[in-house]
Chain A
Amino acid sequence: MRKFDTKVQYLKYKVLREVARQAFNGTLFDNLLEIPKIIVPTNTPTMRCCVYKERAILAERVKVAIGGDKENPNVIEVISIACDECPVGGFEVTNACRGCLAHRCEDACRFGAISFNENHEAQIDKSKCKECGACAKVCPYTAIVSRKRPCQSACKVKAITMDENRAAKIDNSKCISCGACVYMCPFGAIMDKSYIINVVDMLKKSKERGDFRVYGVVAPAIVSQFSYAKPGQVVAGLKQLGFHAVVEAALGADMVAQAESAELAEKGFLTSSCCPAFVDFIHKNFPDMTENISHNLSPMATIAKFIKSTDDKAKIVFIGPCTAKKMEVQKDTVKPYVDAAMTFEELQALFDSRDLDITSLEEEYLDNASYFGRIFARSGGLADAVEEGIKEQNLDVKLNACVCDGIEACRVALLKKSKNLLDANFIEGMACVGGCIGGAGCLTHGEKNKAEVDKYGREALEKTILGAVSTLGK
């Protein structure tokens, strides 16, 4: 059964699984340095030039898996030695070079990186090239092209550059922690920091001491994940891991939809606040528009806050498709409610670290939210829910939504709004293409995920937002 999209995810998973296994056994810090050898036990290299480099990189992966560099506030971290410094990337002379006489490229290069072979065709010395692009601009045959690195192509906020050793470098002032580069780097050189050892610690202490309970808040995108099992078996697996209860983040989405439609009626224009990467993007790129961001907490934080209001011994772990949530939970406004955030990838590692075959478990229930809360997982769902919220509450406002998925679409909408050219009173912004189901923390991404989310939505007991929220006695 294929659990992941790529082998890079599989490798990362193996590290997380081993870290979790050691953490559950209480042997993590005794065996920390042994983990690379446990993962690559033989002396035959399978990934890199030699087994020593493989293990050195694995040691770095272990570091990120136990929380990463404490000095770096970003949850997205480059493993410099894993970066292949993409030798195929950057400026290259293609076979369109005709070996002309003018050699404008040579004159344009300020670094002496261009030389010529016996056919007078240009060659770029990668050790001298600074990727300025001057040669490409002057070539009459456009024979010099820029091949961008996969991480840079994936990063739509242009936060990735190179350090002095040509390894990828993230500019934290631009990065929105969406994780696109993590998912796209073919060498797995960029990872999201993991807090699974905190989660394991919470689960163990909750079991041993019993003075608090750990709740799992699960994002609705889960229905497109763990496709080899039933969602009810994932819930059963979480309980086996030691979670006291599992609650749908989608119920928080219902609460948000209700409040956000009222907020829209009051203010007349809003941008959504559910996607932490989108919110961060506004803060970093459109600071004048931050006041338009909905003042609602995200669905994750909203439901976590509610759970804590019912149980003063609750600790909350969010499980979802998102790397940016790991940043959101560190915000002062969210920190009191959510104790840790992890991804579906990490949940798979936790299951397997306990050798839990969830397909053998009896299904448990997961049904708190309405159809509308559940469809937040895909692009357009939030806008549909706000429209429903307006209808259900008879609010005096008509929704004219601009639905944006992918940060480029978000940028266009925000830019238009900043110039008063946007014909909409609500921007639904999701940093990932397709919405949360496109998140970097998903195990798999597929064409059918959107249909899965809609189907899951229709299966909810509650058909309206009000129906779901009234269960809360509100």
Chain B
Amino acid sequence: MKITICIGSACHLKGSKRVVNRLQELVAENGLSDKAEMNGAFCMKKCGEDGVRVMVDDKIFSVLPENVDEFFKDEILSKMN
């Protein structure tokens, strides 16, 4: 699985650092480091939308820093099993 988190200016101001750091923690805690390849990107367009842009394989989501755990459970962990 490929997880790409936007760290461009607009997403950075919306808290992409918190999303990156929390997702990294969750991936490690769940022993997914080998299965989930994490990457950054500098723009995924639609910068005006709420939340940080996160792409899981080819699907793009908007993730709020406070909802990372939920997002991880629904869109990453559940799809691993």
> Which A residues form the contact surface with B (CB < 8 A)?
215, 235, 244-248, 307, 310-311, 364-368, 461-462, 467, 470-473
Interface residues of B in 3-46 (CB under 8 A from A): 4-5, 7-10, 12-13, 16-17, 20-21, 24, 38-43
**Quick one: which of A365, A470, A473 contacts B10, CB cutoff 8 A?**
A365
Determine whether B68 belongs to the interface, using a CB cutoff of 8 Å to chain A. Answer: no
CA distance A248 to B40 in the complex (A): 15
> Which B residues form the contact surface with A (CB < 8 A)?
4-5, 7-10, 12-13, 16-17, 20-21, 24, 38-43, 47
B17 nearest in chain A by CB position: A471
Contact B47 A364 (CB under 8 A): yes
Contact B39 A310 (CB under 8 A): yes
The DSSP consensus for interface residues of chain B is mixed
Contact A365 B13 (CB under 8 A): yes
A246 nearest in chain B by CB position: B9
Contact A366 B9 (CB under 8 A): yes
Contact B47 A473 (CB under 8 A): no
Contact A311 B13 (CB under 8 A): no
Which of B20, B40, B41 has the largest count of A CB atoms less than 10 A from its CB? B40
Shortest beta-carbon distance from B37 to chain A in Å: 11
28 CB-based A-B contacts, threshold 8 Å: A245-B42, A245-B43, A246-B9, A247-B8, A247-B42, A307-B42, A310-B39, A310-B41, A311-B41, A311-B42, A364-B9, A364-B10, A364-B47, A366-B9, A367-B13, A368-B7, A368-B9, A467-B17, A470-B20, A471-B7, A471-B12, A471-B16, A472-B7, A472-B40, A473-B5, A473-B20, A473-B24, A473-B38
CA distance A467 to B21 in the complex (A): 11
Contact B20 A471 (CB under 8 A): yes
- Write out the residue numbers on chain A whose beta carbons fall within 8 Å of the beta carbon of B24: 473
- Write out the residue numbers on chain A whose beta carbons fall within 8 Å of the beta carbon of B42: 215, 245, 247, 307, 310-311
Contact B12 A367 (CB under 8 A): yes
- Write out the residue numbers on chain B whose beta carbons fall within 8 Å of the beta carbon of A244: 43
Contact B13 A473 (CB under 8 A): no
The answer to whether A245 and B40 touch (CB under 8 A), given A471-B16, A471-B20, is: no
A310-B40, A471-B17 given; 5 more Cβ-contact pairs under 8 Å = A246-B9, A366-B9, A367-B13, A368-B12, A471-B16
B8 nearest in chain A by CB position: A245
- Write out the residue numbers on chain A whose beta carbons fall within 8 Å of the beta carbon of B4: 310
Contact B41 A365 (CB under 8 A): no
A472 nearest in chain B by CB position: B40
CA distance A233 to B61 in the complex (A): 27
CA distance A144 to B47 in the complex (A): 67
Shortest beta-carbon distance from B26 to chain A in Å: 13
The answer to whether A365 and B9 touch (CB under 8 A), given A245-B43, A470-B21, A473-B24, is: yes
CA distance A461 to B21 in the complex (A): 16
Shortest beta-carbon distance from A245 to chain B in Å: 4
Shortest beta-carbon distance from A203 to chain B in Å: 15
- Write out the residue numbers on chain B whose beta carbons fall within 8 Å of the beta carbon of A311: 41-42
Contact B12 A461 (CB under 8 A): yes
Contact B9 A367 (CB under 8 A): yes
